[in-house]
Copies of this chain bind each other. A is one copy, B any other.
Amino acid sequence: MNGAESLVSSFLQSGLDTCFANPGTSEMHFVAALDRHPDMRCVLCLFEGGASGAADGYFRMSGRVAATMLHLAPGFANAIANLHNARKAGSGIVNVMGDHATYHLQYESPLKGDTAGASAVISEWTRVTASAGDVARDGAAAITAARSGGGRIATLILPADTAWGPAEGAVTAAAPPALHRPDEASIAAAADRLSRGRSALLISGPALRAPHLVRAGQIAAATGARLMSPLQVPRLQRGAGHPPIQLQPYPVDQNLAAHADLNGIVLCGANRPVNFFAYPGKPSLPTPPGCIIEDLCLPGMDVGWTLQALADHLELDDDAPFDTTPLDLPALPTGAMEIAKVADAIAALMPENAILVNEAVTNGAPILAATATARPHDLLVTTGGAIGQGLPVATGAAVACPDRPVIALSGDGSAMYTLQSLWTMARERLNVTVLIFANRGYQILRGELANLGVTEVGRNAHAMFDVEDPLLDWVALARGHGVPGQRAETADDLVAALGEALATPGPQLIEIVL
């Protein structure tokens, strides 16, 4: 057995059986080892950001850690943007980064780069394996690290000679350490804070899903607190039957307004509220002066236990009442295309149990509003603000949940960052319907420039916002990647195309001309 074989065996023995890969020469021994283990599912991504984003989507939907396989420092760097999103989502991922053989690193070869430095930019755990005999132990440690704190980014750097040298056997990953829990005084203080009125329970992470979300809804109902979450949810169960939840708005003025009446906030799985960006003359924080924030349970702590402890403190039964969202579907739209009609079409047609991946930066808000009362579904959002996450996360979500339809919403600007994921969707026959909002530019930036008071846009600003000369042809881009595509120019087109796409297995793309 060589080091590579010991790694693959350790992964499988530890319950890690999915690998999103973009390997290179330094990873060839791992490819050879994987080839002897067909029980490991290897999903090829044609760009590394596709692999890291898919591993994020996979974790969000399955709660299971997948591996990525990335080629040296430049290949890892290409994965960083979506690892950033994954880290903010609290997703657990094991990155396997190949490097040159230990004895080759003393020379100035073309691909020599700062592998450990690249990992340190984004990983919460990094280890450089010293020898082939250590690979199994280090691989198991990486899995334990990735499963710690509810989900972390762990990166194992494997010099090529640690793959081909002799190793002894597999190692099973140890269980991660127990999650931190708040003390009883904090529970009591939080319950008190929530019951004082003009309070919010701000939740994220595992609190956004059953059974914890119901518990959060029961606590909100019992205390009169508002139930809120960040806009950048890793995975939120919403729609009919779920507790209604207020998402913090992206626009700074709306975010200020959403918090204006609050005297207190209790955090459970979420960070303290902060505006997405700073703007001249506006505060960084959306909370009013004097609003007291209880850091009850920060990200990485034991969210489920904390909510149960709060419920117990409040003497709530398992069947305590909570507000539920009614099913309220809009009529199917007709006529000229407008964003409100797109929102209605999605809300009306989205099947029960769908996974809705939302990276429609400019057009996301009306769609979120319309789908709030749609059939029950999971919502996955770009957690770290690094665009190019939508298609990869949809890919990983579909790998994790082959029986659930995935609908991925993306602006044209966002989708261009990682469009190679379309090919992986076709390759793996993933049931993803991709909706591209062809607004022909970085519309979000137009708005941001206007926020600065710049109302006249000249040649250079045009040159940096507009993606309309030439027009991107998304139907052709889809076909180029092996995905069937249609263009919807009217609301009727969209309703027909979306209905057809949702009824057809495998990936489909619809370009929505706005």
- The reply to whether the CB of A332 lies closer than 8 angstroms to some CB of chain B is no
A104-B284, A111-B384 known; 10 new pairs, CB 8 Å cut-off, are A23-B464, A34-B460, A38-B459, A77-B80, A80-B118, A88-B110, A101-B277, A104-B275, A107-B274, A423-B472
Known contacts A35-B458, A117-B120, A44 near B277 by CB under 8 Å = no
Known A42-B463, A118-B80, A423-B472: A277·B35 in contact at CB below 8 Å: no
Chain B residues in 8 Å Cβ range of A81: 74-75, 77-78
A458 to chain B, nearest CB (A): 4
Q: Write the nearest CB–CB distance from A406 to chain B, whole angstroms.
A: 18
Q: A120-B117, A121-B114, A477-B481 are in contact. Are A35 and B461 (CB under 8 A)?
A: yes
- How many whole Å from A495's CB to the nearest CB in chain B? 25
Kindly specify which of A207-215, A337-345, A369-377, A445-453 makes contact with the partner chain. Answer: A445-453
Q: Is the CB of B463 within 8 A of A473?
A: no
Are A460 and B276 touching (Cβ within 8 A)?
A: no
- Contacting pair A417 B277 (CB below 8 A): no
A250 to B25 Cα, complex, angstroms = 13
Q: Which of B38, B46, B108, B416 contacts A420 (CB 8 A)?
A: B416
Minimum distance in angstroms from A478 CB to a CB of chain B = 8
Q: Known interface pairs A25-B277, A80-B74. Does A47 touch B416 (Cβ–Cβ under 8 Å)? A: yes
How far apart are A78's CB and chain B's nearest CB, in angstroms?
A: 5
Residue of B nearest to A280 (CB): B164
From B230, B386, B470, B480, A472 is in contact (CB under 8 Å) with B480
Q: How far is the CB of A467 from chain B (nearest CB, A)?
A: 7
Also in contact, A275 and B109, with CB within 8 A (given A32-B461, A80-B118, A445-B25): yes
Expressed in whole angstroms, the Cα–Cα distance for A208 and B111 within the complex equals: 21
Contacts A413-B46, A473-B480 given; indicate if A29 touches B460 (C-beta within 8 A). no
A483 to chain B, nearest CB (A): 8
Cβ contact within 8 Å between A35 and B459: yes
Distance between A88 CB and nearest chain B CB, rounded to angstroms: 6
Selected A-B contacts with CB under 8 Å, 29 pairs: A25-B444, A28-B448, A28-B452, A34-B460, A34-B461, A35-B457, A35-B459, A42-B463, A43-B463, A46-B417, A47-B416, A49-B78, A73-B80, A74-B84, A74-B85, A74-B384, A75-B386, A77-B77, A78-B80, A80-B80, A103-B284, A107-B284, A111-B277, A111-B386, A113-B122, A164-B452, A470-B481, A473-B480, A475-B480
Q: Is the CB of A108 within 8 A of B271?
A: yes
Which residues does chain B contribute within 8 Å of A222, judged by CB atoms? none
- Specify which chain B residues have a CB less than 8 angstroms from the CB of A229 in the assembled complex: none
Known: A109-B276, A272-B107, A479-B473. A386 touches B46 (CB 8 A): no
Q: Tell me whether A37 is interfacial, beta carbon within 8 Å.
A: yes
Cβ–Cβ < 8 Å partners of A388 in chain B: 47, 78
**Contact yes or no, A23 B110, CB < 8 A:** no
Q: Is B110 in contact with A38, judged by CB distance below 8 angstroms?
A: no
Residues of B within 8 A of A161 (CB): 278, 280
* Whole-angstrom CA separation of A269 from B152 in the bound complex: 44
A residues contacting B by CB (< 8 A) are 21, 23-26, 28-29, 31-32, 34-38, 40, 42-44, 46-47, 49, 72-75, 77-78, 80-81, 84-85, 88, 100-101, 103-104, 107-111, 113-114, 117-118, 120-122, 160-161, 164, 230, 232, 271-272, 274-278, 280, 284-285, 383-386, 388, 413, 416-417, 419-420, 423, 426-427, 444-445, 448-449, 451-452, 454, 457-461, 463-465, 467, 469-482
Nearest chain B CB to A439's CB is how many angstroms away? 14
CB < 8 Å: which of B110, B386, B459 contacts A384?
Answer: B110
Question: Would you give the shortest CB distance from A361 to chain B, in whole angstroms?
Answer: 10
Assembly CA distance A426 to B472 (angstroms) = 11
Nearest CB of B to A169, in Å? 21
A470's partner among B23, B385, B426 (CB-CB below 8 A) is B426
Nearest CB in chain B to that of A470: its residue: B482
CB-CB < 8 A to A111: which residues of B? 276-277, 384-386
Asked if B458 and A38 make an inter-chain contact with CB atoms under 8 angstroms apart, the answer reads yes
**Contact in complex: A38, B384 (CB < 8 Å):** no
Residues on the B chain within 8 Å of A120, using CB:
114, 117
* Residues on the B chain within 8 Å of A49, using CB: 78
Q: Is the CB of A449 within 8 A of B32?
A: yes
CA–CA, A475 to B451, complex, Å?
40
